[in-house]
């Protein structure tokens, strides 16, 4: 007899902790990853590499810190001021250092001793790449393969909503037709991969979590124009499945912000897509159990074969 | 009301053409208004007319032309 799957956010979190897949900290949405979790994530990421291996993407890796000027130019603060993480540091004198140490010792606020630096925490894996595209793209456009830790300030005890997580990302630059065709190809690949991994994946048109009432309008516009799709898998809820892959068509947003042009001189269009590596791993643990040695053979072969 | 709407569009809409002479039904997005500038237009309209757009009105079409904005404001101020 098949037992119906039940979904419970806290139960999943507790199970991941009990099986040493994740290591809790005192901050919501921030936890360590254990060896088995990392092994699954590594092989999942490698599987994505195999799917993409003949696409000819150029690999570019950036640290999880982004040039603040690029961040400001990207328009992120117009849309997501509540999710951003800006890096501050101590740049003061010895006397100000004394003030800092005293505040700490006395349990007083010490934010006034900190100064904004030239970097922010990377908010989305693709952001560091756009300045390198400035200029004219080749005839066939550009295709880049990236991965990064990204930061979102959204503390939550729900395991799939993390403050820091890894995204395997691909970015396409070209004409609108090139970019949309590429996005649609990967949307099909993403659904297929997750279904091959035994996950009940479905795609849907989606919207970003824009800030405020104006944000509701931006989200409605984004949905109406079908600019964002997600591949969703039920992990903590059947009714509200979790986005495991995201496909974003930026139209000419980054092209005009960073002066990127196609070979014919028009403003280039861009799209990016990301696989939420931790979320897919959690989906696998949820649907197949916390011990990968007991997973169905075809799924093990797909990842470790 | 019409002049107030057109002034707000001039100030916040980032239109390529003159907001004062745009046709009533001209598409404001075609005229250069971006999603972000439409948000600024929406917030300025709320301040000017002392109204709050309900969620059902926070969508592209409502802010797509002078005529559609006027219809929305009239509906909100009629009550």
Give A128's pLDDT tier (boundaries 50, 70, 90): very high
Interface test with B, best of A217, A250, A254 (most B CBs within 10 A): A217
Answer whether B38 sits within 8 Å of A221, measured CB to CB. yes
Mean pLDDT of A12-32: 98
Please give, rounded to a whole number of angstroms, the shortest distance from the CA of A218 to a CA of chain B. Answer: 6
**Domain of A207: which CATH number?**
3.30.930.10
Q: With respect to residue A113, please indicate whether it lies within any of the assigned structural domains.
A: no
Question: With 80 as the cut, is the pLDDT of residue A3 above it?
Answer: no
The whole-number average pLDDT for the span A17-27 is: 98
How many domains does chain A contain in total? Answer: 1
pLDDT at B68: 96
Q: Is A201 inside a domain boundary?
A: yes
Indicate the pairing of strand A58-59 with strand A142-151.
Answer: parallel
Q: How far apart are CA A69 and CA A71, in angstroms?
A: 5
Helix (H) or strand (E) holding A150: strand A142-151
Categorize the per-residue pLDDT at A227 as very low, low, confident or very high, splitting at 50, 70 and 90. very high
The per-residue pLDDT for B79 is 65
Residue A87, domain member (yes or no): no
Work out the minimum CA distance from A228 to partner chain B, whole angstroms: 15
| Predicted local distance difference test score (pLDDT) of residue B10 | 94
In-domain check, residue A92? no
Contact indicator for B8, B39 with CB cutoff of 8 Å: no
* SS3 letters across chain B: CHHHHHHHHHHHCCCCCCCCCCCCCCCCCCCCCCHHHHHHHHHHHHHHHCCCCCHHHCCHHHHCCHHHHHHHHHHHHHC
| pLDDT exceeds 70 at position A221 | yes
Tokens encoding A301: 């072969």
What is the rounded distance in angstroms from the CA atom of residue A94 to the CA atom of residue A115?
15
**What pLDDT score does A265 carry?**
96
Q: Can you give the pLDDT at residue B35? A: 87
**Minimal CA separation from A214 to chain B, in Å:** 5
Residue A81 lies in a domain: no
What proportion of chain A, given as a percentage, has pLDDT over 70?
99
Chain B residues touching A218 at Cβ < 8 A: 35-36, 39
Please tell me the total count of domains within chain B.
1
Q: Give the long-range contacts of residues A298-304, CB within 8 A, separation 24 or more.
A: A298/A198, A299/A196, A299/A197, A299/A198, A302/A47, A302/A196, A302/A197, A303/A40, A303/A43, A303/A44, A303/A47, A303/A197, A304/A43
The share of chain A scoring above pLDDT 90, in percent, equals 96
Q: What is the pLDDT of residue B31?
A: 92
Q: Is residue A45 part of a domain?
A: yes
For the segment A87-102, the average pLDDT, to the nearest whole number, is: 97
Q: For residue B39, give the nearest of A218, A222, A224 by CB distance.
A: A218
Task: Please indicate whether, in this complex, the C-beta atoms of A224 and B59 are within 8 angstroms of each other.
Answer: yes
- Establish if A99 belongs to a structural domain: no
Provide mean pLDDT across the span A235-242. Answer: 97
> CA A95, CA A228: separation in Å to the nearest integer?
51
| Rounded (10°) angle between helices A297-304 and A35-52 | 70
Whether A97 is in a domain gets the answer no
User: What does the alpha-carbon distance between residue A256 and residue A253 come to, in Å, rounded to a whole number?
Assistant: 6
Residue B20 is part of a domain; what is its CATH number?
1.10.1200.10
B35 vs A218: CB contact, 8 Å cut-off?
A: yes
Is pLDDT at A156 greater than 90 in this prediction? yes
Average pLDDT over residues A110-132: 98
**Which range among A3-7, A26-30, A159-163, A277-281 shows the weakest confidence by mean pLDDT?**
A3-7
Give the structural domain span for A243.
Answer: 9-67+123-304
Whether A241 has a pLDDT exceeding 70, the answer reads yes
Whether the pLDDT of residue A104 is over 80: the answer is yes
Angstrom CA distances, B47 to A67, A210, B52, B73, stand at 36, 21, 9, 12
Structural domain span for residue B39:
2-78
Distance, CA of A84 to CA of A75 (rounded, Å): 11
Count of other CB atoms within 10 angstroms of residue A178: 20
The pLDDT, as a whole number, for residue A240 is 97
Is 70 exceeded by the pLDDT of residue A22? Answer: yes
In the numeric block, the tokens 């979190």 are attached to A13
The whole-number pLDDT of residue A2 equals 60
In this prediction, the residues of chain B whose per-residue pLDDT falls under 50 are none
pLDDT exceeds 60 at position A175: yes
């Amino acid at each position: 007899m098949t037992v119906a799957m039940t979904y419970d956010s806290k139960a999943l979190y507790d199970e991941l902790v009990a099986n040493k897949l994740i290591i809790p900290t005192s901050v919501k949405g921030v936890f360590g990853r254990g060896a088995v979790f990392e092994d699954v994530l590594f092989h999942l990421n490698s599987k994505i590499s195999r799917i993409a291996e003949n696409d000819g993407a150029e690999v570019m890796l950036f640290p999880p810190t982004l040039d603040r000027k690029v961040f400001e130019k990207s328009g992120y603060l117009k849309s997501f001021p509540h999710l951003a993480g800006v890096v501050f540091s101590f740049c003061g004198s010895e006397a100000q250092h004394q003030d800092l140490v005293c505040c700490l010792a006395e349990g007083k606020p010490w934010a006034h001793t900190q100064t904004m630096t030239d970097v922010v925490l990377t908010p989305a894996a693709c952001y560091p790449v756009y300045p390198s595209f400035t200029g004219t793209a080749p005839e066939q456009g550009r295709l880049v393969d990236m991965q990064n830790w990204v930061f979102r300030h959204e503390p939550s005890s729900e395991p799939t909503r993390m403050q820091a997580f890894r995204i395997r990302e691909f970015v396409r630059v070209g004409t609108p037709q090139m970019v949309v065709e590429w996005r649609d190809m990967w949307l099909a690949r993403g659904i297929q991969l997750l279904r091959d991994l035994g996950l009940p994946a479905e795609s849907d048109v989606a919207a970003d979590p824009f800030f405020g009432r104006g944000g509701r309008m931006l989200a409605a516009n984004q949905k109406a124009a079908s600019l964002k799709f997600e591949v969703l898998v039920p992990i903590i809820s059947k009714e509200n499945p979790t986005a495991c892959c995201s496909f974003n068509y930026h139209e000419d947003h980054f092209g005009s912000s960073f002066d990127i042009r196609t070979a014919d001189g028009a403003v280039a269009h861009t799209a990016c897509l990301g696989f939420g590596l931790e979320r897919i791993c959690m989906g696998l643990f949820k649907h197949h159990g916390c011990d990968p040695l007991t997973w169905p053979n075809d799924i093990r072969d797909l990842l470790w074969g | 009301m019409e002049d107030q709407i057109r002034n707000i569009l001039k100030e916040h809409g980032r239109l390529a053409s003159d907001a004062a002479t745009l046709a009533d039904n001209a598409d404001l997005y075609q005229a250069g208004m971006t999603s972000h500038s439409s948000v600024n237009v929406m917030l300025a309209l709320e301040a000017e007319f002392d109204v709050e757009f309900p969620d059902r009105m926070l969508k592209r079409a409502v802010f797509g032309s002078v005529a559609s904005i006027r219809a929305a404001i009239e509906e909100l101020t009629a009550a």
